[in-house]
Amino acid sequence: MNRESLFALVAHRLGEDSPTLAHCVATERCMMALAHRFGEDATQWGLTGLAHDLDLNECEPDLSNHTLIAQKVLEAEGAPSEMIAAVLGHNNKGPRNTLMAKALWVVDPTTGMITATSLVLPSKNVADVQVKSVKKRMKDKRFAAAVNRDQIRACENDLNIPLDDFLHLCITAMTESE
């Protein structure tokens, strides 16, 4: 499995211009940045981020099968077991017992919060998002209410990265992806 073939597969299932595909690419970029920080395999971490929601369109609105379909697709593609486990783990369909699985768990809602914060800016540009703005939005429970704040704050315990550093890393990674 390479990046090109996985992107084609994910784009086909989610739609070329879909927000979910953009979310998967944002997650890919953040996962790669985290892998670099930890000295881990950035290629594998990136592919895991890119793949993590590949079945979301076909699962909605009932998300009980979410990541279980992705598991079958990824197995057929010969994806590594660690990658599949992380994808399952991000939807509570398996344990998150690797650093990569923990990272995906934390990155997923964080990209959502950063994107939502960018969309209320006049420029609607992630590059203009500031860490303090994201933190302020996180305190407003009505803003992007579906995004789990505790899951974002898990960067401190699960990844040992302070929230400010983590948000900065993700904003920077997402900006590079644009």
Nearer to Fe ion, 87 or 169 (CB): 87
Q: Is position 108 an interface residue for Fe ion (rule: CB under 5 A)?
A: yes
Find the shortest distance in angstroms from Cβ 122 to Fe ion.
27
Residues 28 and 177: their CA atoms lie apart, in Å, by 9
Residues 56 and 52: their CA atoms lie apart, in Å, by 9
As a whole number of Å, the end-to-end CA separation of the chain is 24
Nearer to Fe ion, 44 or 111 (CB): 111
The number of beta carbons lying within 10 Å of the beta carbon of residue 40 is: 17
The number of beta carbons lying within 10 Å of the beta carbon of residue 156 is: 14
Number of residues that bind Fe ion (CB under 5 A): 2
Residues 53 and 28: their CA atoms lie apart, in Å, by 11
Find the shortest distance in angstroms from Cβ 23 to Fe ion.
6
Nearer to Fe ion, 39 or 50 (CB): 50
Contact 113, 134 (CB under 8 A): yes
> x/- binding map, residues 40-79, to Fe ion, per CB under 5 A?
-------------x--------------------------
Find the shortest distance in angstroms from Cβ 39 to Fe ion.
25
Residues 158 and 151: their CA atoms lie apart, in Å, by 10
Nearer to Fe ion, 61 or 122 (CB): 61
Nearer to Fe ion, 42 or 59 (CB): 59
The total number of residues shown for the chain amounts to: 178
Segment near Fe ion (CB under 5 A); pick from 69-77, 105-113, 119-127, 150-158: 105-113
Q: Is position 28 an interface residue for Fe ion (rule: CB under 5 A)?
A: no
Please name the residue that has the structure tokens 């879909």: 18
Q: Which residues bind Fe ion (CB under 5 A)?
A: 53, 108
